[in-house]
Amino acid sequence: MKRIFNHPQAPATGRKYWRSLEEFAGTPEFRARLEREFPQGAAELQGDEVTRRGFMQFMGASLANDTAAPHSVPIMAIPERQSSGSKRVNMSCETCHHGRPRPTTLGEELGERYEAKGIQAALDYYTDLKKKFYGQGGLDFGENSLNQFGYDLLEKKDAAGAVKVFKRNAEEFPQSGNVWDSLAEGFMKAGDLKQAEENYKKSLTLDPANDNAKQMLKKIKESTEK
């Protein structure tokens, strides 16, 4: 059920507080600030003064001619059609997408592929994305991306799928104690205590300070001795 909050009436005396930007915008103080910032007739200023419109045009041209950024592509195109006696300029941004259709995280890309076609398709897609975009900065191919994707699958109750993701992450980052710890947790969720114990030990070998692995190994030992 949607909650509706009834605000109390503003006090007639004492300090006044604005309860919204709209209320603030109607005050004399705001009107005075607005007049100082945007005086009447500012748009008609002539001569050598720099207008806001001129400044924005200058900045737009500067950005269009910037070629220093890596992986950048031309962002201006001048079609043949003309309008009002001048050529039209279409501007688009490609650098932030790094050549991809839309800016998304690696986890989002894999999650969408998983929902559409399953875990194996998602892992195959990871391979394709890494071949195309690794080193370009558009996607994070560090261990945390696959690790988080695996935990997303655990939350969806797909322990088997999570184990496959964690295995792939361990192949990519075999020297990271954390990825083996995650793989062990995946096996725990899947009910395979033997594999969980083996991978917790692997994690502990790589990271002797891993208290979680120590605690989980203790729990596994206690459960098997019962």
Instruction: Provide the pLDDT confidence category of residue 209 given band limits of 50, 70 and 90.
Output: very high
CATH number of the domain enclosing 203: 1.25.40.10
Residue 82 sits at φ, ψ, to 5 deg, of: -115, 155
Domain count, the chain: 1
In a domain, 37, yes or no: no
In a domain, 173, yes or no: yes
Pair of tokens at residue 139: 């996607």
- CA 137 – CA 124 distance, rounded (Å): 20
In a domain, 67, yes or no: no
For residue 86, pLDDT beyond 70: no
Q: For 20-67, how does the pLDDT look when each residue is reduced to its tens digit (9 = 90+)?
A: 665 666 677 767 766 666 665 555 445 555 566 666 776 777 666 654
Per residue in 180-196, is it b (16+ CB within 10 Å) or e — as a string?
Answer: bbbbbbbbbbbebbebb
Per residue in 80-95, is it b (16+ CB within 10 Å) or e — as a string?
Answer: eeeeeeeeeeeeeeee
**For residue 68, what pLDDT is reported?**
47
In a domain, 83, yes or no: no
In a domain, 215, yes or no: yes
In a domain, 58, yes or no: no
Instruction: Provide the pLDDT confidence category of residue 3 given band limits of 50, 70 and 90.
Output: very low
Taken in order 117, 108, 122, 139, the sign of the CA dihedral is positive
DSSP alpha helix (H) spans, 134-210: 143-155, 159-172, 177-190, 193-206
Range of 123's domain? 106-225
pTM, entire model: 0.56
